[in-house]
């Protein structure tokens, strides 16, 4: 048993979030809450992936502010900067350099053509969006492969990108030997895909034009309450977990269970015969309590603390990344 724990502690976790909007409870549930639990067991590296964010137009001042904001969100959620490495992607040039090398060795056009995130984000503008948006998954592969990552905890929508990182690593290894670890995605069973409050067929997303689709982690308690009360429900009035026939309610039940630390079957039992109104009011209270606790921690972190933590993280991550990059440069013949 002790040996098993030791082996686990040697495993490496890498994940990141783009500072491209107001982080919401979907990001928290699908990604960050998983990371917090993993810190005791694994070596964890969490990045604020700003070079991914610029694949879509960003306002420079807002981007600067959001980089700080996302770092505070990691910390307020319980990521411990003593235990885990927290860093800003663009401060380590090895990420973009390895991405370029992987563009040339390992990444195929046919792979990128299959990426559903690109298709959704580019929509009808596939010919005029930036090359960066198309190449996004290769930069993500570089992030992961630089650190000998074993596990990548993400929401359901990012699984395809992690699978591509595996393919790229295998192709590179076939040509040059066992240089990259083959990473595995980790997706939680419930809550891997929190849906929009306004449309249960769409994922809750921080870059949705309609901000009522999501509860942002920094929304005021009043606004969060309003959004819950306005959330769409399904026809009927019974509280049931039924993804096919009651997708909106099932989504609300998932949020309730995870943020309120309850089990879905128990909630369904407790709300039998009570109707949607009462359920939504209680859910709003659960969400408000969660946000209140979260924001209290968030507001206690200063910008200076964040700058210092990011600088310490940069130093630690750079030492790891530059080692891997030197090996790669030698293998391909540029050194």
The catalytic site residues sit at 121, 203, 206
Conformation bin of residue 213: beta by default, left when phi > 0, alpha when psi is -120 to 50: alpha
Query: Residue 209: what are its φ and ψ, rounded to 5°?
Result: -65, -35
Binding track, positions 18-47, relative to ligand ATP; x by CB under 6 A: x-xx----xx-xxx----------------
Among 12, 13, 15, 35, binds ligand LTN (CB under 6 A): 15
* Site for ligand LTN contains 152 (CB under 6 A): yes
Q: Are 98 and 146 in contact (CB under 8 A)?
A: yes
* Site for ligand LTN contains 14 (CB under 6 A): yes
Binding track, positions 45-84, relative to ligand LTN; x by CB under 6 A: ----x--x--------------------------------
Nearby residues of 262 by Cβ (< 8 Å), 6 or more positions away: 256
Query: What is the nearest approach in angstroms of ligand LTN to the Cβ of residue 304?
Result: 26
* Site for ligand ATP contains 203 (CB under 6 A): yes
Query: Residue 124: what are its φ and ψ, rounded to 5°?
Result: -85, 0
Query: What is the nearest approach in angstroms of ligand ATP to the Cβ of residue 121?
Result: 7
Per DSSP bridges, beta strands 43-48 and 85-88 are parallel
Nearer to ligand ATP, 101 or 249 (CB): 249
Cα separation values, 269 from 161, 231, 262, Å: 38, 22, 12
The alpha carbon of 207 is separated from its chain's Cα centroid by a whole number of angstroms, namely 13
* Site for ligand LTN contains 24 (CB under 6 A): no
Among 72, 161, 166, 206, binds ligand ATP (CB under 6 A): 206
Query: Residue 158: what are its φ and ψ, rounded to 5°?
Result: -100, 0
* Site for ligand ATP contains 155 (CB under 6 A): yes
* Site for ligand LTN contains 32 (CB under 6 A): no
In this structure, the number of other CB atoms found within 10 A of the CB of residue 22 comes to: 18
Closest to 89 measured CA to CA, from 132, 134, 46, 149? 46
The residue number whose beta carbon is nearest to ligand ATP equals 30
* Site for ligand LTN contains 22 (CB under 6 A): no
* Site for ligand ATP contains 205 (CB under 6 A): yes
Give the interface with ligand ATP as residue ranges (CB under 6 A): 17-18, 20-21, 26-27, 29-31, 154-155, 157-158, 192-194, 203-207
């Amino acid at each position: 048993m002790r040996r098993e724990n030791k082996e686990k502690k040697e495993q490496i976790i890498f994940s990141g979030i783009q500072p491209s909007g107001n982080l919401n409870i979907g990001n928290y549930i699908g990604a960050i809450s998983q990371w917090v639990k993993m810190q005791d067991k694994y070596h964890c590296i969490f990045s604020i992936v700003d070079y991914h964010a610029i694949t879509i137009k960003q306002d420079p001042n807002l981007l600067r502010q959001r980089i700080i904001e996302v770092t505070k969100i990691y910390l307020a959620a319980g990521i411990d900067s003593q235990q885990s490495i927290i860093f800003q992607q663009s401060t380590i040039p090895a990420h973009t350099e390895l991405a370029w090398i992987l563009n040339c060795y390992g990444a195929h056009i046919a792979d990128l053509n299959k990426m559903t995130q690109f298709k959704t984000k580019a929509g009808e503008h596939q010919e005029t969006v930036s090359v960066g948006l198309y190449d996004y998954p290769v930069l993500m592969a570089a992030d992961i492969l630089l650190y000998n990552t074993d596990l990548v905890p993400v929401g359901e929508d990012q699984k395809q990108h992690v699978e591509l990182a595996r393919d790229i690593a295998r192709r590179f290894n076939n040509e040059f030997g066992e240089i990259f670890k083959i990473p595995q995605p980790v997706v939680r069973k419930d809550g891997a895909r929190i849906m929009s409050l306004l449309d249960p067929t769409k994922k809750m997303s921080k870059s949705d034009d309609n901000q009522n689709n999501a509860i942002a982690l920094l929304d005021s308690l009043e606004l969060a309450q309003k959004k819950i009360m306005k959330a769409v429900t399904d026809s009927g009035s019974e509280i049931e977990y039924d993804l096919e026939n009651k997708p909106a309610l099932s989504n609300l039940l998932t949020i309730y269970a995870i943020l309120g630390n309850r089990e879905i079957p128990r909630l369904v039992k407790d709300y039998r015969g009570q109707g949607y109104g009462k359920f939504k009011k209680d859910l709003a209270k659960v969400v408000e309590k969660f946000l209140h606790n979260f924001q209290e921690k968030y507001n206690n972190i200063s910008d200076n603390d964040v700058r210092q933590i990011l600088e310490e993280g940069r130093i630690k991550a750079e030492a790891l990344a530059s080692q891997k990059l030197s090996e790669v440069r030698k293998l391909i013949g540029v050194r």
